[in-house]
Amino acid sequence: MSRPKKAEQEQFRHLIRVRVNDAVYERLTKLQKQTDCRSICEMARKILSSERINVFHREASLNGPMEELALIRKELKAIGININQQTHHFHISENSNERAFFVSKTATLYKGVDNKVDQLLLIVTKLAEKWLPK
- How do residues 69-89 score in pLDDT, each as one tens digit? 888 989 999 999 999 998 999
pTM check: above 0.75: no
3 state DSSP class of 55: strand
Q: For each successive 10 residues of the chain (134 residues), what is the average pLDDT?
A: 62 83 92 89 88 81 82 90 91 90 88 87 85 71
Query: Angle 88-91-92 (CA atoms, 0-180°, nearest 5)?
Result: 90
Cβ contact 79:113 at 8 Å = yes
The per-residue pLDDT for 134 is 66
Using alpha carbons, select from 85, 114, 113, 89 the residue that is nearest to residue 101.
89
The per-residue pLDDT for 5 is 63
